[in-house]
Structures are given as structure tokens and as C-alpha cells.
Amino acid sequence: MSIKIERPDVEVDMRVEDPGDEYPVVETNLAAYIQRCWGSAKTAKQDVLERVIRCERQRRGVYDPDRASEIAQTGGSDIYMMLTDVKCRAAESWIRDVLYGTKEKVFELTPSNEPVLPGELSAGIVDQVRFEAAEVMGSGEDVLPETVRARMEEVHEATLNRFRKEALDAARRMEDKIDDQLTEGKFYDAMRDFVNDFVTFPAAIMKGPTVRRQKGITWGEDMQPIVTTEFVRTFERVSPYDIFPSPTSSGVNDGYIFQRHHLTRGALLEMLGTPGYNSDAIRTIIDRYGTDGYRNYLPGDSENRLLSGKPQSQYVNDDTIEVLEFWGSVNGTWLLEWGMEEPDVMGDREYEVNAWVVGDIVFRCVINPDPLGRRPYETAAFEEVPNSFWGIALPEIMRDTQIMCNAAARALANNMGVASGPQVEVAIDRLPDGEQITDIYPWKIWQTTSDRTGGGQPAVKFYQPNMNADVLLGVYQQFARQADEVTGIPNYVYGSSNVAGAGRTASGLSMLMDNASKGIKQAVANIDKIVSGIVDRLYLHNMMYGDDQFIKGDFKIQAKGAIGLLHKEQQMMRRNEFLVATANPIDSQIVGPEGRAYLLREMARGLGMDTDKIVPDSNHFEQQRIQMLAQQMAAQMLQQMAAQQQMMAQQQMPQAAQEAGPDGAPIGGAGSNLMQ
């Protein structure tokens, strides 16, 4: 049987043989290799999985099982101070304000190189200057070599400026295109969940863009809804519980990587007929696992569901089918054996592929479509570890301070409970029958018998335990302040009023915030890699498959920097000060109208205004300059004509005076004839 798997540039023929099944699928070397890799990745992640669970427990305010058992054995309070959650929420809010608190894009495109004029255009500049020189020489004026050289440099620079402006305009159009694609693909929604993972776990993972079939709706005649199906590029946050890198992996593009998908029967059935998926293999999966589901049980699954508030019974009775998505290098022989018929696949080479597998059934296997062989994943950590896939999470950084704060809080609660009332010592043998020694209330009368020893000791003694609340509270506050130091997130960042000294003034608090941003700067800057990587893939896709030629160009992608956006208000203030400082005649002559327009344009762009409706572009000033030059040339021509006319009049006046007689009559004129 031959099963066709189609892709825009690839058509794969997968042959499977097994006459015993309605939809025959047999285990191949490819499926066996993927299963071996899955076993290694799953085993290697056990220690990391425990770290991930501990981080989530710490943020949720849940003690580790061994610590909870120790507390239960000693008795007393099991209070858990939510200091980690406070720090995580503060960091999360801070980052979200940076990413979403402004209308500016979190990335920008700039031309990567200085424009180089084509040879024919350079030759045209030479011809233009030569023609202008010929016209000047034709009018009888001399043309100096220095004048020709200066004019050629002027025309060359003007042409380069036009090319630079066109490149910048194309970069802006590409920025708008990519920003629209990010919005349509739910990138900014996925980033919100990504930021939550970023401040909680040792690694946060973003995936995209991936092409998926998505339903939409349009309106036909008489406004009747029409359901449509289209392919869109989407982005998603991947849970750290569902990502499994290879044991030696130092990044998403190193070694191999697995992602777990939890799909329903309906989700699998929607893949039928989708390019790149084997429909017969999908039907086999539905037949085998459509009723009871299929899962790879891992130690952290139960804990994850518990911390997420999901019932365990639902997990046991769930019919979800777990799918493994594999990205890695495989041998070409296995691909050919599996049924891949791409003409360039050879058995003695390794190929980067993307495969989807359920158990021993591979129902998707295609060559990685990225020209550079990159996987569609990006990772970041609050504190990254060199040459490691996993970093250090914020809860891990402050784990010791959280433990000490919990210990101080438990001791404080226990001490307050013990010291809230007296401790009582009772001689039971001196109490009458039926006396309730645990029943204590004001004005209680204790019935006792006489001391048989004759010592005169009271039958009931009261002791008041010491209250150590001040000492324990001081210990707690000390370690809470230490948490500010180790995390770089001071309490005044999230609105605490417990700020002394300079923090009580607006300028002082601004200085403290600026210093605090230096502490978290490196952590937040790690998010820029996510933005740069995803934008780079969208840029590459638009360059390869986009139809709009006016957005294409050799651009350099740069994330603006999350911390840099925090200083936006200060930059706007400095720009405004510079704008005011240069508003004088001397500076205006130096800056010129174009420089002034640039300043106004940047101010308006920073305020989210439409700059085209406020400040004219450079073409407007170029037209003004041309009109001014034309007016100057016209005025010079008028002056030259007036000077020539005046010169001609002056030349004619002496000649007329010579031809006149002593009495003013013309010599040899009519008067002379009359005298004769």
C-alpha cells in the first residue's frame, strides 16, 4: 500500500505492509530509533523534572513531601510564607509592563549594510554630470575639474540617500508585516504564559511559527455565515513538563528534542487530509487507542496535575492520546526504508527531520523545512547556565531565604501560640475525682486536697512562657531583605511603602528603580533572544515565500531590549530637553529644517502618533530645496538680463551724444538739409 504525504515542495510515498490490519503499520528502524531516543531523554530528565516540581511547589506555597513529613512529626504550625510567589508576580508584572505597556514594537529591522550602487546607476551618474558640464561649456563658461568632482560627489551622495531611505521604508514595511503575523498567530498571548514560566521554572520554551489548519468564518449573501479553513502560522508556549532534550543537549538545536502533545480523538481526526500527515496511520491510531487513550506515565505527571488543581480521577479515566513530536538527525537509510522518496535523500547521510509518533506508529516524517536546519523552539531562563539547556529559576535563587523565612514564621507562630497563655502544672493525685484539668476559665475555683508531704506546695502551678516575637520577626525581616538582594527585585518595585531615605521622594525612587533595573537587566534581556529568533524565522519566511517585493531587503533584526524600554520616558524627556535647547537661531542654522523635522518625527513616533500627518517627510524638503534653487536661478537670470539691458543702454548713450550737433540737432539730419 502506498500512502502519500504532501508538502509544498516535497511529496513523500510511505509504504507499509501488514495484511493483518485494516490500516497496516509496522515498526520500522525509524520508529525504533525514535523510541530509543525517547527512553534516553526521559531518563535524563528525571533530576530536572524534580527541580521543575520543586519550583512550582515553592511558588504555590506547598512544602516538599520530606519537609512536610518533618513538620508533621514535630507538630506545630505548617504556615508557608508566599515570599517566592510575591517575587515571581513582581518580576512577571515588571516584564509584562515592559513588553505590553507601550505601543512600540519589541523589535526593529535595520538595513544590514551600506547600500552599494549598481554599476549601471554609477555610470548614469557620470553621464549626468558630463551632460551638465557640456551644457555649461556650451554657454561659454569654463568648467574646472574640482567643480566636476564636487558635483559628482553631490549626485552620488543624493542617490545613496535615496537608496538609504528606500531601504528604511522597506524595513518599516517588513516590521509592520511581521507584527501583523505575530498578532494573528497569538504570539503576544503566548508570551504572557511564557513570562509566567520564565519567572517560575528553570527554562521557559516558546514554539513557532508552526503552520496549522484553523477554522474561520466569512459572510456570504444576506450575511449568511460561511465556515472556512485556512492555514495560519501560530505560536505557543510549551510547558517545561512536556519538553525533553537529549541528555547531552546544550540548546534546542543541539542533539535531539521531544515535545509531548496531549491530543483528543477530534484533534487527530482534524489532521486527516492535512498536508504532511499520513491519514491511514492516523486511522490506525484511532482504532487502537481511541477508546482508552494512550499515555506515557511519568513521575511528575500526577504532581503536576495536583499543583494545577486538576482531579486525579479524570487523568485515570482520560481518553487522551499522547503524541511525541521528534526533532533530530536520522540516517537516510531509515528514511528510505520507512518510505520517504525525496530525490535528494541518500542512505549514507544524516538528515534533520520532524517526526510525530504514537507508540510504534510514525504518522508524520518530513525533512526540516528550515534552510538552516533550526528547530522552531526558543528557550530562556531567569539565570542561564553556559552550555546547558536548563538554567536557574527565580525560586531556586531564593530557596534558602524562603526556607529561613518559613522556619522563622513557623517558630513565630508556635511561640505566639505557646506564649498566648500560661502553662499549668497540676498534681493530679491532689485533685478530686471528676475535676477537668483542661477546662480553664476566669474565676475558676480549683478543688484540691492537702499536701500529704507536708511541704505546703500548691497543687496547681502557673508558668508564663517568654514571648520571642520581636526576635523572630527580626530574623524573618532580615531574610526577607536578603531575598531582595539575591533576586534583584526589591520590595519597592511592587509598591511596598516600606521604603526609607531617598525612596520617599519621586526623584530618589526613580534612582532606586534605575539601580534595581540593573539587577534584573540580564535576566530580562534573555527574553530578547526569544523575540529575535522568532522574528528572524518570520523574516526568512517572508523573504522566501512573500509576494510583496516592496518589503524585501537585507535587514538586520534587533530586539529593542526590554530594559531599554523601561527608560522610554527618560529618553522622551531628554529628547524634549534637546528639542527646547536647539530652538534658537544659531542651532537652527546648524540643524536645518530636515534635522528639526527628524527630531519632531522621533518625538511623535515615541508618543504613538502618525508622523506622516504631523511632520512632512524628506521628499517635502527636497521639493522645497528644488523650488528654492529654481527661484534663485530665475532671480539670477532676471538680474543678468537687467544688467545686460543696462549695459546696452549705457553703450548706446555715448554714441547718440556724438551724432548730435552743438544745438542738439543731429548732424547731417533734416535741419542741415534745410540750411542748405
347 shares a domain with 248:
yes
Does the pLDDT value for residue 241 go beyond 80?
A: yes
507 shares a domain with 444:
yes
pLDDT recorded at residue 601: 73
Last residue within a domain, chosen from 518, 553, 580:
518
Alpha helices for 467-615 (secondary structure H): 469-487, 506-545, 562-566, 568-581, 585-606, 611-614
Chain segment 389-409, per-residue pLDDT in tens: 999 999 999 999 999 999 999
More confidently predicted of 659 and 366 = 366
186 shares a domain with 40:
yes
418 shares a domain with 309:
no
381 shares a domain with 254:
yes
Torsion of CA 340, 345, 349, 354, to 10 degrees: -50
pLDDT recorded at residue 652: 72
Question: Does 671 reside within a domain?
Answer: no
Question: Does 229 reside within a domain?
Answer: yes
pLDDT recorded at residue 101: 62
Confidence at 669, pLDDT banded by 50, 70, 90: very low
Chain segment 574-583, per-residue pLDDT in tens: 677 777 777 7
348 shares a domain with 419:
no
Last residue within a domain, chosen from 500, 518, 536:
518
User: What nine digits make up the cell of 430?
Assistant: 491532689
78 shares a domain with 211:
yes
Question: Does 140 reside within a domain?
Answer: no
418 shares a domain with 382:
no
Domain that holds residue 475: 399-518
Question: Does 468 reside within a domain?
Answer: yes
361 shares a domain with 453:
no
Question: Does 294 reside within a domain?
Answer: yes
**Strands across the sheet with 361-367, in order?**
243-245, 257-263, 321-331, 350-358, 361-367
481 shares a domain with 345:
no
Confidence at 312, pLDDT banded by 50, 70, 90: low
Question: Does 47 reside within a domain?
Answer: yes
97 shares a domain with 33:
yes
> Average per-residue pLDDT in the chain?
79
Does the pLDDT value for residue 437 go beyond 90?
A: no
Chain segment 156-188, per-residue pLDDT in tens: 888 888 888 888 888 889 999 999 999 888 998
Last residue within a domain, chosen from 335, 366, 389:
389
Chain segment 529-578, per-residue pLDDT in tens: 888 899 999 998 888 888 888 888 888 887 776 555 555 555 666 677 77
414 shares a domain with 302:
no
pLDDT recorded at residue 17: 37
The number of domains in the chain is 2
Confidence at 91, pLDDT banded by 50, 70, 90: confident
Question: Does 358 reside within a domain?
Answer: yes
Share of the chain above pLDDT 90, in %: 26
Q: What is the 3-state secondary structure (H, E, C) of 264-294?
A: CHHHHHCCCCCCCCCHHHHHHHHHHHCCCCE
Question: Does 269 reside within a domain?
Answer: yes
What pTM did the predictor assign?
A: 0.72
